Amino acid sequence: MSKELEILLYGEPVATLTKDAHGQWALRFTPSYLQLDDRPVLGQKFEDALHSPFRGKKGNLPPFFANLVPEGELRPILEDTLAIVQGDDVALLEVIGRDLPGAVEFRTISAGEPERHAIEDDAVEPTAPRDHDSESMRFSLAGVQLKFSVILANDKITLPAHGKLGDWLVKLDSRRFPRLSQNEHSIMAWARHAGFDVPECQILPSSALIGKLGDYAEPDTFVLAVRRYDRHEGQKIHQEDYAQAVNLYPVNKYDHVSYEQLTVLTEKFVGEGARDEVIRRLVFMIASGNGDAHLKNWSLIYPDRIHAQLSPLYDQVSTVAWPELDRNLALNFAGTKDMSQLDRQRVERFAGRAQLDGETVLKFVDATLAQLANAWKSVTRSADWVMAPEHVDALRDHWQRTPLLRDSPLAGL
């Protein structure tokens, strides 16, 4: 039996998502949406063929919607709290579909036959207390680090009331990666001092978490609050990450696209001026030792609902701070992910593959590295700098081990 969901954008129906008797999902835009003169954009991939159905792999949602499903530590918490069968993407999105990233929403039209299957109580280890009010958990932000959409006021962090939108994210510290919150807060502050567009951030003790939120935090740790750039004065601003924009499933966020291809794609999506900003961000990624700048950590936003812009920087972490992690980039940079292979020749190769002049790109890289060195001097003397000393040592070691950085102004700091 078929199942049908209505897709809304800015609260207005724009498409239907239908599952046929063979288990395949397909998205079709409504005639009324297609006829709009000032039609808001749902996703870049759809713009290529608006009148054609967009199908997922059998049994799976199309990639755009699969990328809205929570990942990592958050997913089992939601499944457990909301009594949703493990692995049921659609059931999860039906429940949390009113507060997804961007301005897209889900609404059930026809439910079809129930697809839930009984599982043993011990089949999934509970990750949180089971007595929480499910109404407080209806939100979704995909990502591996445990994060929640929240309200921040007077240094207190609470879950939004049912039907309300959270305008901040709170990211909790990780058992696996201690002091992650301080690391990210400091790297984001460095980016801000260097002139990048960065959301407002606050580092707060875990005791700032009020009510149910406190159950998920490690005691005596810090949490990172980041203002949501897809929310403004109670209104939604649409966004999509690059995995959505290129129609890849979340499992492929570390492959299929290189950084030079990402640069070319950004010029296509946003315009020529955005190309320089991508290169600046890539230089910062390398300088900060960030090995996790995968496709879901690059996003587009639509402030006027039609034209794409690069989103502010987010999820900026110096992953080299943890010695158990490899020193690889998330995506290929001119044929390598190994940071120790990044040198000026590699930058020239990147430029060629991105259809850019190598000498011009090298000058741009040098200028950006000089800006980052100056920003380092100021941010490390500011109250925003809360990075653990051992993380700073690891970052300085990274500068010495990376040829592109070894002879840069950073190496002397």
Judged by DSSP in three states, 8 sits in strand
β-pairing, 222-227 vs 231-232, is unpaired
Give the type of residue at 234.
G
pLDDT at 347: 98
278 Cα distance to chain centroid: 16
Contact criterion met (CB below 8 Å) for 223 and 208: yes
Out of 241, 292, 315, 384, the active site residue is 292
Contact criterion met (CB below 8 Å) for 166 and 231: yes
Q: What is the pLDDT of residues 18-43, one digit of tens each?
A: 998 888 999 999 999 999 999 999 99
CB atoms near residue 360 (< 10 Å): 12
Compute the chain's Rg from CA coordinates.
22
Fold of 238-412: 1.10.1070
Planar angle of CA 275, 281, 285, nearest 5 degrees? 145
pLDDT at 143: 54
pLDDT at 110: 67
pLDDT at 138: 36
Q: What is the pLDDT of residues 177-222, one digit of tens each?
A: 899 999 999 999 999 999 999 999 999 999 999 998 898 898 899 9
pLDDT at 26: 95
CB atoms near residue 359 (< 10 Å): 10
CB atoms near residue 87 (< 10 Å): 13
Q: Does the active-site annotation cover 357?
A: no
- Say how far apart CA 335 and CA 144 lie, in whole Å: 26
Cα–Cα separations (whole angstroms), residue 102 to 8, 98, 105, 292: 11, 10, 9, 22
Which pLDDT band holds residue 246 (cuts at 50, 70, 90)?
A: very high
Domain boundaries, the chain: 3-110, 134-232, 238-412
Q: Residue 336: which residues within 8 A CB-CB, separation 6 or more? A: 329, 342, 346
**Does the global pTM surpass 0.95?**
no
Tell me which long-range contacts 75-80 makes (C-beta under 8 A, separation of at least 24): 76/124, 76/127, 77/127, 77/128, 77/137, 77/146, 77/216, 78/137, 78/140, 79/124, 80/124, 80/126, 80/127, 80/128, 80/130
Contact criterion met (CB below 8 Å) for 30 and 14: yes
Q: Residue 301 above 60 pLDDT?
A: yes
pLDDT at 129: 31
- Say how far apart CA 93 and CA 102 lie, in whole Å: 14
Q: Residue 318: which residues within 8 A CB-CB, separation 6 or more? A: 183, 187, 288, 289, 290, 387, 391, 394, 395, 398
Strand order across the 201-205 sheet: 156-158, 147-153, 168-172, 222-227, 201-205
More confident residue, 175 or 408: 408
- Say how far apart CA 17 and CA 29 lie, in whole Å: 9
Contact criterion met (CB below 8 Å) for 178 and 317: no
Nearest to 69 by CA among 41, 47, 91, 54: 91
pLDDT at 108: 84
Structure tokens given for 91: 């059931």
Nearest to 290 by CA among 196, 354, 367, 227: 196
